[in-house]
Structures are given as structure tokens and as C-alpha cells.
Structure 1
Amino acid sequence: MDQREIYLVDDSADHRYLVRTIFNKFLPNYHVRFFQGGSELYQFLILQSSPDYAGRLPALIILDHQMPAISGLEVLKLLRRTPDNAKTKWKTMPIVILSNDDSNDIINKCYLAGANSFFLKPQEFEELRYMLETICHYWMDYNKLPQISQPKIEQKPTTLDHDE
């Protein structure tokens, strides 16, 4: 069983419903977990950092830029500053930003904070479907990410290692 999934964060129940419909009907091979806001996502991700966590890990995070309390940009900054561990790879985790505002200033801020992609939210259902298919195929099927390597334990030479 694939233990990777997509996390989608959007404060709009209507948008989450549309996205859920698209995944259920057109992209059933991808497992998606929905979050209503940035703080909900961040708290869940911190729990995943526990060595005891055995659930699915995100392979892709899709963040709405404009959310109350904590914006997608702020969540992005938090994730990029969170230390990686043996299970989680926050620094290289693909993070896509969706926004209704595609001003150059916002796009620049998102990329400077560590976004991997920035998309303007489509207004039409078919455009949204096509965009989600493209994002998923690229980030989940084709893109290759670096693996975190475990630090090598330095071995001290024993007497058998030395020439006498």
C-alpha cells in the first residue's frame, strides 16, 4: 500500500467539496486529506514527526494562499523552517500554492518562502480538474525528490584494522 498522500488546505468548504468531487470521480488513485486551515495542518504535521506515527505521510501539500488566522504563505514559511527528521522532509516537500490573487508581489513572496509552484485558482470546474490532474501527475508520478540519508556512524578503528 502506498503510504503517501496529498494534503489540501483550504478554508472554503465549497472549494474543498469541488476538489473532493474531482479526486473521487477523476483521480481516484490519489489519496487526499483535507484541512480547513493552516494551523490545523501544521499541528497535524508536527504530530507526524513523532517516531511512533505510523500513518500516511504527505508527498505533496497544496495550500490556499488566502486563509484566515494563518495564511498559506505563513504555513509555507513554518514548514520550510521545521527541521527534517528520518520520516519527514519538510525542506524538500513539494508545496504548491493556489490563490485567487496572482499579483507579482504575492507570487514572488511565495517562491522566496520556498513554494515549488504557484497557480491561480481556476473559476471553471473543468479547468480546476485539469490543473489538479497536472499537479498530481507531475509531483506524484514524475518528479523525483532526494531521499534523506541517515547519518553514517563513524566507526573507530579496532586493533584488527591496524597493520602491526
Structure 2
Amino acid sequence: MGASEYTDDEYETLQTSKREIAGNEEPARIADVRVGDSTARLTLEFDWTDGGEIAEFDLDSERDVMELKTLARGLGYDYDHLPYLEGETVTAVYLDGEWVPAATLPDAGPDVLGDASTGRFDPLSRAYRAATGRVGDLSTNKLLIAVIVVKKLLIASAIVYLLVA
């Protein structure tokens, strides 16, 4: 029994079927961004296939617009600069027969996808993720200002306590 040789098409089909499993994450490059009057389309390209996958967003849907804003913000762009996403690399997740950018999913992450598939959500991990996300949004300047303000408040409260006591 000898090893069989695969044609390029057969090899691509095998690679695709191996990766298209619900919840699977793969790096993808945003090859094209088309923003129309009512839809936005992102073409995602993977290194293991020649074709591109299209992720489409309805601009009349508040949810879809929020997903696009989250995606753009995660890559360091404003929502108004969606065309500049071309060439950026994102993590794509295979769900419901299509590839979507992971940043557009609520609470994106491998542990959340696993929880969602079983129907169980861990409130502690969601709270931790939300807190770390908020802390990550703080800039160094904002953090320094907050420390200085807290320090001044502590000094003022100590002086008031000494004067009253």
C-alpha cells in the first residue's frame, strides 16, 4: 500500500474541512473592505486556502454596527476608518458555517466559546474579563492622574481628621 499523492484541490479541500469546525480559531488577513450604503463586507484570507471568506455586516442593524466598531477599535482604528482595516491580521472564528472576526463576537475567547457550546456561563470569568478590559483601556496618563488625585484626597482627609479630632 503506497502513499497516495493529492492534487492541489484535494489538499485544499482536506485543509479546509480540517479547519471548519465550530469554534475553531484561525489567523486571517483582511484582504478587502467594501462599505456600501447598507452593508459592509470584509474579505478574510487564510494562508491555508486560495479563496477568501466574506463576513457581511448590515449597517442598518445597531448590533452589526457595534460589532464593526469593536473590531475597528481593537485594531486601533475609528469606525469611520473601516477601509484602513485592509491588510490587518485578525483572529477569525468558524461559527454557523461561516468565518467571522473573533472581535465581533460578544466576550470573544476560547473559554467563552466552550461555555457557549454547553450553555453554561461563568459569571466570575465574565466579570474578570470585563474588569481587565476596562483597566486595559486606561492610559498611563489617566492612571497617573488618578493616583495623584487619590493621594491628595487622602492627605486632605487626614488634615480634616486631625483638625476635628
Indicate the TM-score class for this superposition, using the shorter chain for normalisation.
Answer: under 0.3
With the length of structure 1 as denominator, give the TM-score of the two structures.
0.25
Looking at secondary structure, tell me which structure has more helix per residue.
Answer: 2
With the length of structure 2 as denominator, give the TM-score of the two structures.
0.25
Looking at secondary structure, tell me which structure has more strand per residue.
Answer: 2
